[in-house]
Amino acid sequence: MSHGRIRKAVFPVAGLGTRFLPATKTVPKEMLPIIDRPLIQYAVDEAIEAGCDTLVFVTNRYKHAVADYFDKAYELEQKLERAGKAEQLELVRNVLPEGVRAVFVTQAEALGLGHAVLCARPIVGDEPFAVLLPDDLIWNRGAGALKQMADAAQASGASVIAVEDVPAESTGSYGIVATDTFDGRQGRIRRIVEKPAPADAPSNLAVVGRYVLSPRIFELLEAVTPGAGGEIQLTDAIAALLAEAPVYAYRFQGTRFDCGTHIGLIEATIRYALDHEKLSDPARDMMQRALGELGVRERD
Ligand code: UTP
């Protein structure tokens, strides 16, 4: 893999989002907001901060909302300009900064995350690239998770995958890796297993939705045979990649919220509100009141 800086980021957003039905009948999961910005915006900002200037969205034919969101909103901008709403105008214009381009690719059928990544191949070509799953929202006061990983990948020239320690009983929800001893934040991956039962898990280091990958992954994805439900798993291609090249697990600095679940989305909303300049105090008061009222009701 070359030692250059990654420039392209792939956002696989063609999943069905069944856990958020009925909302996801019309609102893609990635468009669900934390405060005032959709999940996809947080992931896009993280990719741009890491140095990416080409954003590849793998969508399905129902997800016009994602493309609309990144499109220029002429009428809205004109109205805000005429109304003298400069601050709001800036917010709308800064959805994508100048010099960053968005490319949309359709995944005709939801054949799995691996297949979605493969759909981005014609745009990514033969260079290392990032994959970000927007429903994994990562909050950090310092550099974003992908920036941390891109720096590590640039230094080692290897593929890098974000990992996090999860409770032993949760291994069945993640890809789980076995690694060499960590040197600082990273350790070389020797094995990766998709959603093992706790008894079969080689560790409790779980893969989360940030990857810096060698373009070799595309060839390996081509060779992956569909697993359960006809899905092409990214994990299978990563397993093949680490048999032929170093792939590092990276314990990023930051807090991850699994916004693909109800409780994760609630937790993220609460944490962002408590950290928000204007919302912090009222949110704290509101939560104390709500907990107090619940306490009274429980004692009745
Ligand atoms: P998930 O496993 O979270 O599936 O996909 P999902 O469909 O989005 O949500 P649920 O489980 O039905 O609620 C992980 C990521 O891979 C993308 C999803 O959009 C999500 O970002 N994905 C998954 C695709 O782009 N295409 C697929 O065929 C499958």
Q: Which two tokens stand for residue 6?
A: 């990654």
Span 20-60, pLDDT tens digits: 999 999 999 999 999 999 999 999 999 999 999 999 999 98
Provide mean pLDDT across the span 222-226: 93
- pTM value > 0.85: yes
Q: Ligand 1, residues 11, 16, 109: which to mutate, most atoms within 8 A of Cβ?
A: 16
Residue 86 neighbours by CB under 8 Å, 6+ apart: none
Residue ranges of domains in the chain: 8-162+181-190+209-260
Residue 14 and residue 58 in contact, taking contact as beta carbons nearer than 8 Å? yes
Q: Which two tokens stand for residue 9?
A: 């980021």
Which residue has tokens 């993220």? Answer: 268
Domain 8-162+181-190+209-260 = CATH 3.90.550.10:
yes
Question: In the predicted model, what is the mean pLDDT of the chain?
Answer: 93
The rounded Å distance from CA 16 to ligand 1 centre is 6
Nearest protein Cα to ligand 1, atom 2? 15
Q: What is the pLDDT of residue 168?
A: 94
**In the chain, what is the straight-line distance between the N-terminal and C-terminal CA atoms, in Å?**
64
Name the band, by pLDDT with cuts 50, 70 and 90, for residue 62. Answer: confident
Percent of the chain exceeding pLDDT 70 equals 97
113 lines ligand 1 (CB under 6 A): yes
12 Rama sector, left if φ>0, alpha if ψ -120 to 50, beta otherwise = beta
Q: Which of 117-126, 187-196, 222-231 has the lowest mean pLDDT?
A: 222-231
